[in-house]
Amino acid sequence: MIGLFVLVLLLAAFYGGARRGTSLQLVSVLGYLISFFFAVANYQEIAKKIELYVPYMSVTADSKLKYYDMELALDLDKAYYAAIAFVMVLFAGWLITKLVVIFADSLRYKRLSFLGGYDWAVAGVLNVILMYINLYMFFMILSMIPFATIQNLFETSGTANFIVDRSPILSDYFYRLWITDVIG
């Protein structure tokens, strides 16, 4: 079921990107990258400020987390707040990017000639990459929540497990960013 949900989201992302065209999609990608780097630079500071406002279930001795041992799980709240802060900054940047894209809508009809007839495909693939990164962050944050139903999701869903555990580049990068750099 999760695999189907992910597939539908990725197909919708491809369609949305293909409709935009590469010129307009590149504006979105540039805005996403700027937001991403801004989030990397500021998420730890913001994480300290949101602890009182964002709930997190405490880890107990009975908690079983698929990707984290008990020693790491006891400090996982710090990583959770860091991840939430990161996504908050990224989301704010995404909203600003969407506003810019509205004003750059005339780019929708400008096709990049050097791509030939594949302009739509390049835009679709770029949007799929952005959607996959967002899905990765969503599932990674879910993996930090010590709730049995959520943890069982990763046990039973090969798709969710693959996204969190085996995504090329992303798995190592976000583990280092949210776990290693925050918890130590």
pLDDT tens-digit map of 108-120: 777 777 777 888 9
- Whole-angstrom Cα distance, residue 161 to residue 1? 13
pLDDT at residue 108 in the model: 74
- At residue 111, the pLDDT reads 75
Residue 170's pLDDT band (boundaries 50, 70, 90)?
very high
Overall domain count for the chain: 1
Q: What is the pLDDT of residues 128-156, one digit of tens each?
A: 999 999 999 999 999 999 999 999 999 99
**pLDDT attached to residue 61:** 82
Average pLDDT score over residue span 24-45 = 97
pLDDT at 72: 92
Instruction: Give the range of the structural domain holding residue 153, as residue numbers without chain letter.
Output: 1-183
pLDDT digits (tens, 9 = 90+) for 35-61: 999 999 999 999 999 999 999 998 888
Per-residue confidence (pLDDT) for residue 36, from 0 to 100:
98
**Of the candidates 144, 176, 165, which has an alpha carbon nearest to the alpha carbon of residue 75?**
144
pLDDT at 65: 93
**Mean pLDDT of the residues in the chain:** 94
Q: Give the model's pLDDT for residue 8.
A: 98
pLDDT score at 105: 81
